[in-house]
Structure 1
Amino acid sequence: MASKDETFRTPAAQGGPLDLLVVGGGINGTGIARDAAGRGASVLLVEQDDLASYTSSASTKLIHGGLRYLEYYEFRLVREALIERERLLRIAPHIIWPMRFVLPYTPQARPAWMLRLGLFLYDHLAPNMTLPKCKSLDFRTNSAGKPLNGTLARGFAYSDGWVQDSRLVVLNAMDAKAHGADIRTRTRLVQARRVNGLWEAVIENTRDGSQTTVQAKILVNAGGPWVSEVLRERAQVDSDKNVRLVKGSHIVVPRLFDGPQAYILQNPDKRIVFAIPYEQKFTLIGTTDVPWTQAPGRVEISPEEISYLCESVSRYFTKPVTPDDVVWSYAGVRPLYDDAAKNASAVTRDYVLDVDTQGNQAPMLSIFGGKITTYRKLAEHALEKLQSFLPVLSAPGWTADQVLPGGDLGEGGFDGAVSRLAAKAPFLDAQLCWRLVRNYGSRATEIVGDARSMADMGEQFGGGLTAREVEYLIAHEWAQTTEDILWRRSRMGLHVTDEDAGRLDTYLRGRQPVAAKSAS
C-alpha cells in the first residue's frame, strides 16, 4: 500500500488522473469496472470489505425476469431481465444454469387466469428465449407433486436461472483486472471532493489504516446500502434521490424434496417464498421483505422472519419445517430506489442512475436500486450516461457475449469440462471434480496444476477443500479470510466442521499475504 498522502497512478494513467474511481465491490461496482476497463478506461475500484460482502452475496441466487414484478406492471424491467437471463447463461455457464420452478395453484392467493396470463407474458416478453416454456401440472400424476400436501391438485412449471451470486461478483472483478483495472479490497473511501475539475479522494486500507490520495475524472458511487452515505457524507453532494433499505432473509434446512426442481409458493399476504435445492444436501428458503431503518452492514435474520419462512413452506409441503430444522441463515439489506411505495414488497426493483455535476464540475454517478440479473445492462447504461464526460467510454459495448473467467467450457459444455478434468486428475473423487468445475469452470485445471494425487493437493480442510484451492483463491480472487473462502468463494461453509474451519484459519494466519494475480 502506498504511504500516507501519496497520489496513486495506474500504469494506464501515468501522467494524469484515473478515468474512473468506483466505490463499491458488489455486483454493480465490479460490473461497471469490468465494462469500463474493457473499453480502455483506467479504473480503480475500492471495496471497504471483501468483494460481495453484503447485498450481492445475500440474494436468493436467481437469474430471473421476476415473475411477480408483472403484478406491478414492471414490464420494461422484466423484459430487460429476461434478455439478460439468456446472456448470462451463455457467458457464465459454470456458475449459472437453468432451473425449473413449480408454482402450486391456491385460489386464495391469485386467480388461475392471472397466473396463466403472467406466465404467458413471462414466456413471450423477450425474443429468442431458449429455456423451456411454462406448462400446467397435475400433482396427482406429476412427480413434482409428491412432496406437496394432498390439498394441492394442480399448478404450473416455468423456467428461470440459478447463480452463485458472490462468484459472479468475483468473476467480474477478475475480468476487470485482466483488462487493466486495479481492484482493492479492504479499502474504503474516506472522503472525496472536487478540485480543479477532478475528484480528489482519500482512500484508506482498513487493515493497517494507511491512507492514499487518488485523483479521478469521474466518481462512480456503487455503494449499495451505503449509496446515500457516500453521496451526502463522504462526497458532500446534495441529491433529491433516496435509497430505501429492505432486509431480505433466508434459511437453509436439510433437503425437503428430491429432484432438481424448485418451488415458488404464494402466501396469503400475496408475498412469494422460494424453496430451492441448495448445495446438494439442503433446501434454501426465502425471502422476506422487512423495512430497514438502521445502519446497513452485518444484519441477521430475526426469530419472526424464521417463523414466517417456516410457516410459508409448511403450508405447502407434507413435511413441516420448524425453526429447529434451520442449519444456517443469512440476511442482507437491499438498496432499493425509494419510489414511495407503502409496501416493502411493492418497491420497484428497477434501477435509477443519477449523474451530478454541480454546474459542470467533475461528474459523480450514483446507482440506486437494481437487481443481480440486470447488473451487466446497468453497467452499459451507466457508461452511456458518462460518455459525454469521458470519450473513451464511447467505445462499443463488449460484455454481452464475452465469457467470464472459466466460462469457456469447451466441447460438451459443463459435462464435457467435468469429464476432461476427471481424465486429467483421476485421483479426484466425482463430487470434488464436479464442484471444482461448477465453481471455476475451465480454470479448475489451474487449481489441480501438476498434482498427481490428493497428497499433492496439499493440506485438506474438509469437504474436499485443499490448500491448492485455497492458494488459488488467495492469488487470483482476493480471498484473505476464512469467511471469504468458506462462504463467498468455495461455498464450503455448510460442508466443513468447526474444527476444519479452525485449521483453515490457522493455515491462513501462518502464511504471508499474497496480492491477487492477473486473471488474464
Structure 2
Amino acid sequence: MTDPVDLFVIGGGVNGAGIARDAAGRGLSVILCEKDDLAQGTSSRSGKLVHGGLRYLEYYEFRLVREALIEREVLLNAAPHIIWPMRFVLPHSPDDRPAWLVRLGLFFYDHLGGRRKLPGTRTLDLRRDPEGAPIKDAYSKGFEYSDCWVDDARLVVLNAVDAAARGAEVLTRTACVSARRDGGLWRIEMRDGATGAMRTVTARALVNAAGPWVTDIIGRVTGTNSARNVRLVKGSHLIVQKFWDGPQAYLVQNTDKRVIFINPYEDDKALIGTTDIPYDGAPEKVVADEDEIAYLLAAVNRYFKVQLRSDDVLESFSGVRPLYDDGQGNPSAVTRDYVFDLDTGGGGEGGDGAPLLNVFGGKITTFRKLAEHALDRLGGRFPAMGNAWTSGAPLPGGDLPGADVPAFLNTLRTEYPWLPRKLAGHYTRLYGTRTREILGNAADLGDLGRQFGPLLFEAEAKFLRRTEWATCAEDVLRRRTKHALHMTKAERAAFADWFDNAAASHRREAAS
C-alpha cells in the first residue's frame, strides 16, 4: 500500500473532475476514480449550455442565477475553444407568459451577473427580422438574448487533463468498491474494470461526487448515512438535421410553461431538449421514450413552419440529473443549486474523523464555483492548502491569445498551410492550442495517418488514447469528439476494429 494521498475523489463527471483539478492546483495529492469513462453519465448528456438559467428566475433563484451568470464569463475566458457565445431567439406566445414578464426577466438576466462580453437583449419583429423567417406567421414578436454553448464532455476531460498535469492520478474504468475509516484515514478498495485487479489506497479525505450514484456511494461503499438526498430527473434530447438558416438558437415556451431549446449542433444538425421527468430506474439504463420524443417534436411544431416527424429524429439521448431534493413536487421547480454534506465520523463538522464530503446537485455552469466551495469546506483538514486559483486559469488548450478563436485558426493555417480549413476548425474547437500536439511536424494530410471519417484521422485518435484516457472507440466517437454523427455505420465499425487492435498492441508493448 502506498502512502496516503490527501484527497480521493469518486466520480469522473464535471463536479468530480473540477474538484480534482482545483485540489491538485492547491498542492494536494489527489486520486480521481471513475467506474466508467470520464463524462459517461450525466455530464455528456446535458443541453450543452453554459447559462444562467433564465427560467430559474421564475422560482426566485436569484443567487443561483447571479452566480451562474458570473461563471458564464469566467468559463468563456478559460475555455474559448470549447465554449462560445450563442444568441437565443425567444418567440413570444400570448397564450403563455405575458410579454412584459418575459422582457422583465430578460432585463434581470442582462444585469444580474455583471455581463461584460456578451451583447444584451433586443426585441424582434419576427415578420421582418431574418431570425423570424422559420417561425410561423402567428407569432409576430420575439426577443433575442445571449448565453453560451459548451462541449460538455470535453469540459470534463479537460479538467481531468489539467488535474493530471498538476499531479493528480486519474483512474477511469475503475470502481470504488469499499471505503472505510481506519486510524484517521480512509482505506479505499478499487477494482480495475479491465483486469479485475484490486488495489487499496489510503486518503486523508474523501469526496463523493458520483452524481446520480451519490446515495449509492454513501450507503454501499462508505457505509455511512446522510439526511440529504437527490431526486433523479430524466432529461431527453433529440438530434435532427438543422432546419433554419443562421447561427442563432431558439427557445420556445411550451403549453405546460416549460421551455425547450432548439440549438445549432455540429454545423448541420440541431439539438432539441429537454424534458423533465421523475426517474427511479438505473441511471446507466436511461433512454428517451416515445412520449418524450412526441412531446419535444410537438413543442417545435407549435412554433416552426417546418413540421418535424419522428422519422426526422437522427438520434436521441437521455441523462439523469441528480438534483438536490428540496421537497418541491414539480421536477422543473426543483433547485439546480448544490448542497454539501460534510461527515467527519460522527462528531459533526467539528469532529476529528477522516472527512467525507458528499456533493448533492449542481449544474454544469457552476461546477468551478462548486469545486472552490468544496475545497473551502475541507480547508480545516489541510491548513497548508493553497488558495483558490481557477478563476483566472485557462483550461488546457484555452490559452488562445486574446481568447480569439478566429485569429488562432488563421495562425494555425499559416503554420500548416496544407491543412483544410474545416479540419483546422475541428481541431481548434476541440483542442485549441493543443492542436499542435496532434499535428507535430506533419507536412501533409498523409502524415496524419489513416482517415476513418470526414474529419477523423489516425493522429487524433492516437492523441486521445495517449493523453485523454480513451480506451475504446465510443470514448473517441461519442464523448471526446462527435465524429460518430458524421460517419456511416461501416466507417464507425472500421474505426472500432482499428482502435481495438491498436489498443491491444499498445497493451502488449507496455507489458513487455
Alignment TM class, shorter chain as reference: over 0.9
Distance in 1 of aligned mates of 2:317 and 2:115: 35
What's the counterpart of residue 445 of structure 1? 436
Note the 1:266-285 alignment, pairs <5 A: 266-285=253-272
Report matched runs for 1:73-84 at 5 Å.
73-84=60-71
Q: Aligned partner of 1:453: which letter?
A: D
1:431 equivalent among 422, 437, 462: 422
Q: Which runs of 5+ in 1 are unaligned?
A: 1-6, 10-15, 516-520
Question: Cα 1:61–1:190, aligned 2, differ >3 Å: closer, same or farther?
Answer: same
Alignment partner of 1:478 is 2:469: yes
- Which letter does structure 2 place at the counterpart of 1:242? N
Please list every run of 5 or more consecutive structure 2 residues that lacks an aligned counterpart in the other structure: 508-512
Contact in 2 for aligned 1:41/1:392 (Cα 8 Å): no
How many Å separate the matches in 2 of 1:171 and 1:505?
24
Q: Structure 1 length as normaliser, TM-score?
A: 0.95
Among all aligned residue pairs of Structure 1 and Structure 2, give the percentage whose two residues are the same amino acid: 52
Q: How does 1:338-357 map to 2 (within 5 A)?
A: 338-357=325-344
1: CA distance between counterparts of 2:87 and 2:243? 16
Residues 423-445 of structure 1: per-residue CA shift (max 9 Å, x gap): 22222221111111011001111
**How far off is 1:30 after superposition?**
0.3
- The match for 2:190 is 203
Question: By how many angstroms is 1:126 displaced?
Answer: 1.7
Q: In structure 2, which of residues 196, 207, 228 is the aligned counterpart of residue 241 of structure 1?
A: 228
Q: How does 1:331-480 map to 2 (within 5 A)?
A: 331-357=318-344, 358-359=346-347, 360=351, 361-393=353-385, 395-410=386-401, 413-480=404-471
CA contact (8 A) 2:88 2:249 kept: yes
2:75 maps to 88
Kindly indicate whether the alpha-carbon contact (under 8 Å) linking 1:59 and 1:165 is maintained by their aligned counterparts in 2. Answer: yes
Q: Is this contact kept in 2: 1:298–1:332, CA < 8 A?
A: no
Give the whole-Å Cα distance in 2 for the aligned partners of 1:403 and 1:128: 19
SS in 1 for 2:390: coil
Q: CA deviation at 1:512?
A: 3.9
Q: Which residue of 2 aligns with 1:140?
A: 127
CA distance in 2, matches of 1:193, 1:111: 55
Structure 2 CA distance for aligned equivalents of residues 511 and 136 of structure 1: 54
Post-superposition offset of 1:93: 0.3
1:484-503 matches, within 5 Å, as: 484-503=475-494
Question: Structure 2 counterpart of 1:384, which letter?
Answer: D
Distance 1:180 1:316, change over 3 A: same
**d(CA) in 2 for partners of 1:293 and 1:343?**
15
Task: Please report how far the alpha carbon of residue 510 of structure 1 lies from its aligned counterpart in structure 2 after TM superposition.
Answer: 1.2
Shift of 1:351: 0.4
1:164: how far off? Answer: 0.2
Q: Compute the TM-score of the two structures, normalised by the length of structure 2.
A: 0.96
Deviation string, structure 1 residues 387-445 (Cα, Å, up to 9, x no partner): 0112233x211100100000011267111111122122222221111111011001111
**Structural RMSD (CA):** 1.1
Measure the CA separation in 2 of the matches of 1:66 and 1:506: 42
CA displacement 1:254-282 (0-9 Å, x = unmatched): 11111111000000101010000000110
1:191-221 Cα offsets, whole Å, 9 max, x none, are: 1100111100101101111110110010100
Q: CA deviation at 1:130?
A: 2.2
1:114 aligned partner: 101
Amino acid at match of 1:231: I
DSSP 3-state at the match of 1:397:
coil
Instruction: Please list the CA deviations of residues 147-206 of structure 1 after superposition, one character each: whole Å capped at 9, or x if unmatched.
Output: 001100001010000000000000000000011000000001001100111100101101
> Per the alignment, in what secondary structure is the counterpart of residue 283 of structure 2?
coil
Whether the 8 Å contact between 1:54 and 1:298 is mirrored in structure 2 is no
2:160 counterpart residue number: 173
Q: 4+ residue runs of structure 1 moved beyond 3 angstroms?
A: 512-515
Q: Would the aligned equivalents of 2:77 and 2:403 in 1 still touch at CA under 8 Å?
A: no
Distance 1:202 1:47 in 2: 13
* Deviations 1:25-45, CA, capped at 9 Å, x for gaps: 000000000000000000000
* 1:15-34 alignment runs, 5 A limit: 16-34=3-21
Does the CA contact (< 8 Å) of 2:208 and 2:358 recur in 1?
Answer: yes
